[in-house]
Chains A and B, each alone.
Chain A
Amino acid sequence: DQQVKQNSPSLSVQEGRISILNCDYTNSMFDYFLWYKKYPAEGPTFLISISSIKDKNEDGRFTVFLNKSAKHLSLHIVPSQPGDSAVYFCAASPYSGGYQKVTFGTGTKLQVIP
C-alpha cells in the first residue's frame, strides 16, 4: 500500500518556464512533507519541506503548496534551469515523539530543456 504517490514518472519543461511536480498522499497522520532531488549516481538531497499547519513554503525559486483537504502537494520551480534536471522525490512523515519514519514516493524525472 503506497502512502505517497507521484503519478507522473517524467516531465519535460523549457528553460525559464515553470515546472510543477505533483504528489498525493493517503495517510492523514502525516505532519511533515518534504521534497528531495536526486542526480544520477548520487543520493537524494533535501530541497524543501512544509509542515501540515501551513499551505505554502517558499525558498528562492522553489515553492511547495499543500492542500490538506485534497491530500495533495506540489512543488513549483520558477524559473526552471537546466541544472534542475533530476529525479524529484516527494516524502512525508508523521510526528511521533521524536521518531519520524519518512515515506517516499516513486519519483518524477524532470528534464529542463535549454
Chain B
Amino acid sequence: EAGVTQFPSHSVIEKGQTVTLRCDPISGHDNLYWYRRVMGKEIKFLLHFVKESKQDESGMPNNRFLAERTGGTYSTLKVQPAELEDSGVYFCASSRTLGPSGANVLTFGAGSRLTVL
C-alpha cells in the first residue's frame, strides 16, 4: 500500500507570506494527524482529524494556522501569515479506526520542512 505522502518536502518563505502544506494519508485511514518538530525538541501534536471532522485541535499554536480535510481524504495545513517561530518540520500521520484495544500505531510521512526567513 502507498504510504503517507507530504508536499512540499521543503519550503522557504519570507516572514508574512503564506504557505500551504498538503498531506495524503494512507487510503482507508480515517485518522489523520498533524505534528511539528522544531530542531531538538519533541514531536509536538497539532491536531487530529477523524474523516473530515476535527477531533482535537488543542495543539494548534494560534489562529494563523488553518487545517482542513475536505471529503475526509487529503488534508492541508495553511500558515498565514508565517512568522519566524513557525519554522520546523511538519509531519502528517495517519492510522486506521481503532478497535476496543491496541495501541494507536501512526504511519508518518517524510515531513515538510518549513523555513521562515
- Chain A contacts to B: CB under 8 angstroms: 2, 4, 9, 32-34, 36, 41-46, 49, 51, 89, 91, 93, 95, 98-107
User: Chain B nearest CB: distance from A49 CB in Å?
Assistant: 4
By a CB distance below 8 angstroms, the chain B residues around A49 are 103, 105
| Cα A34 to Cα B41 with chains together (Å) | 18
User: Chain A nearest CB: distance from B92 CB in Å?
Assistant: 8
Q: Judging by beta carbons under 8 Å apart, are A104 and B110 in contact? A: no
| Cα A4 to Cα B99 with chains together (Å) | 24
B65-106 vs A, Cβ < 8 Å mask (1 yes, 0 no)? 000000000000000000000000001010001110111111
By a CB distance below 8 angstroms, the chain A residues around B101 are 51, 95
Q: Does B4 contact A (CB under 8 A)?
A: yes
Q: Which residue of A lies closest to B111 (CB)?
A: A43
Q: How large is the interface on B (under 10, 10 to 19, 20 to 34, 35 or more residues)?
A: 20 to 34
Q: Judging by beta carbons under 8 Å apart, are B104 and A100 in contact? A: yes
| Cα A32 to Cα B46 with chains together (Å) | 20
Q: Judging by beta carbons under 8 Å apart, are B42 and A105 in contact? A: yes
By a CB distance below 8 angstroms, the chain B residues around A33 are 103
Q: Judging by beta carbons under 8 Å apart, are B110 and A42 in contact? A: yes
Q: Which residue of A lies closest to B41 (CB)?
A: A106
| Cα A50 to Cα B77 with chains together (Å) | 32
By a CB distance below 8 angstroms, the chain B residues around A100 are 98, 103-104
Q: Judging by beta carbons under 8 Å apart, are B42 and A4 in contact? A: yes
| Cα A80 to Cα B40 with chains together (Å) | 24
User: Chain B nearest CB: distance from A11 CB in Å?
Assistant: 15
Q: Judging by beta carbons under 8 Å apart, are B105 and A89 in contact? A: no
By a CB distance below 8 angstroms, the chain B residues around A34 are 103, 105
Q: Judging by beta carbons under 8 Å apart, are B106 and A46 in contact? A: yes
Q: Which residue of A lies closest to B55 (CB)?
A: A99
Q: Which of A42, A45, A98, A107 contacts B97 (CB 8 A)?
A: A98
